[in-house]
Amino acid sequence: MSNADPQEFAVEFRATRYDGYRSFSYLRPGDDYEEFALAKEFGRTPLHDMALDDQEIERTKRLIDENIIISLHDHPQIFPHDMNQVRDYIRTGREHTSYVGLSRSGMTAVFDNMMDGTACVTSKFGWKWDDIIYDLGMRRSDLAHQDYARIAYGLDDITAAKENGQIAIVLSLEASTPIENEVDRIDILYGLGIRQMGIAYSESNSLGSGLKEARDGGLTVFGKRAVERMNALGIAIDVSHSGDQTCLDTFEHSDRPVLITHAGARSIWPTPRMKPDTVLRACAESGGVIGLEAAPHTSLSHDHPKHSIESVMDHFTYCVDLMGIEHVAFGPDTLYGDHVGLHKIFAANLGVHQAHNGPAYEPVPYVSGLENPTENFYNIVGWLVKHGYSDEDIIAVTGGNIMRALEKIW
């Protein structure tokens, strides 16, 4: 069950086709699946005050209502209210999607990364092929029982979602680890709807090195085959969690733009989770796009070491200057529930300690301004409006740049 109260988030965007559907409501909770008390989708944390005046609010809403808004990386699922229950919840294979939250977000499309490294249906360590297929099948079954969210197989599904008051779900995986040494599994995942895949997560795999490794061996021979296959199929490649040399090798070997769906600039906050200038420039040269990251305690900055939207926007302005505004977007990497608590429980699986190893910082219970997928883009667009960005630039960084890259990838 969910504790959603739509009145807790009062911004009204244009009407959508959302009709009140809740995940797995075609089944009997308690009989057909184990029921958990889920986190509040609205009002779990105080709303961030953007200090917008009436004119700025109207411009913010207009820009969201009239244009294609895309999150390059999020997890729009609802987690248990008690995060200590998260492993038992995940083992059921039924993560609930916040359809009501998405309907109030203003987004047109979201790159939905599902369980990613927490896919522990049968294993404590995640990334097993059977678990990923189980997760993917459950998500598709739930999506098939409603008409608001549609799976995006190509650009036409994103534009149709905008026209029809829907949201397009781009099914994604943060790593190619589940394919093991079977390149044809990429075709299977494509056939099941996957349209974006990472090379490696924090740990190395048969394709290349993850960012928590002390030595980065770069893209392997098999990794090059996998890149070629993803290019041939039309799967967007992500290097957010890959080591620096693996990133550079991927840019060089791919004949299509490569994405960094959720990261920031190491020059702003020096940790392995952020990307150095060499990688950021190479991403831009490939025609790719970076999505600015906002998961707790990742994209901090020396000017704003207490993690908030202001920290993230320090990375944004740096990347715009370094890469060009046409190569910058947003991949907030948020969810519904206690994200800090999730990191603590899955620290080993997600490589949290190694990836975040850097300067001391003040821990926060949540990232103010970028706490969940519902609030993110109102605050992002509001920040850009407040800081004098043109309509053209705002449209580009909140969706246009991603659409342009996808035209060459898909």
Q: How confident is the model at residue 6 (pLDDT cuts 50, 70, 90)?
A: very low
Mean of pLDDT values over 366-386: 97
Distance CA 70, CA 60 (A): 15
Q: How confident is the model at residue 23 (pLDDT cuts 50, 70, 90)?
A: very high
Higher local confidence (pLDDT), 74 or 203: 74
The pLDDT value recorded for residue 350 is 58
The pLDDT value recorded for residue 122 is 87
**Strand (E) positions, 26-177?**
70-74, 77-78, 96-97, 109-112, 149-151, 167-173
The pLDDT value recorded for residue 12 is 83
Q: Residue 348 pLDDT > 70, yes or no?
A: no
Percent of the chain with pLDDT over 70: 95
Q: How confident is the model at residue 10 (pLDDT cuts 50, 70, 90)?
A: low
Distance CA 313, CA 327 (A): 15
Q: What pLDDT digit, counting tens, does each position of 146-200 carry?
A: 999 999 999 999 999 999 999 999 999 999 999 999 999 999 999 999 999 999 9
Q: Residue 8 pLDDT > 80, yes or no?
A: no
Residue indicated by tokens 């004949």: 255
The pLDDT value recorded for residue 84 is 94
Q: How confident is the model at residue 88 (pLDDT cuts 50, 70, 90)?
A: very high
Q: Is 376 left (phi over 0), alpha (psi -120 to 50) or beta?
A: alpha
The pLDDT value recorded for residue 249 is 98
The pLDDT value recorded for residue 119 is 84
Q: What pLDDT digit, counting tens, does each position of 217-247 carry?
A: 999 999 999 999 999 999 999 999 999 999 9
Residue indicated by tokens 């706490």: 371
Q: Residue 2 pLDDT > 50, yes or no?
A: no
Distance CA 385, CA 375 (A): 16
Q: What pLDDT digit, counting tens, does each position of 286-313 carry?
A: 999 999 999 999 999 999 999 999 999 9
Domains and CATH numbers, the chain: 6-10+18-409 (3.20.20.140)
The pLDDT value recorded for residue 3 is 45
Mean pLDDT for all residues in the chain: 94
Q: Residue 270 pLDDT > 90, yes or no?
A: yes
Structure-token pair, residue 337 = 């529930």
The pLDDT value recorded for residue 346 is 83
Distance CA 218, CA 136 (A): 29
Distance CA 338, CA 82 (A): 9
Structure-token pair, residue 33 = 């699946």
The C-alpha torsion from 176 through 182 and 188 to 194, rounded to 10°, is 10
The pLDDT value recorded for residue 232 is 98
Structure-token pair, residue 240 = 């957010």
* The pairing of beta strand 196-198 with beta strand 236-238: parallel
Q: Residue 4 pLDDT > 50, yes or no?
A: no
Which amino acid makes up residue 384? L
Mean of pLDDT values over 62-77: 98
The pLDDT value recorded for residue 124 is 82
174 to each of 63, 117, 132, 258, 269, how far by Cα in Å?
Answer: 30, 8, 11, 14, 22
Percent of the chain with pLDDT over 90: 88
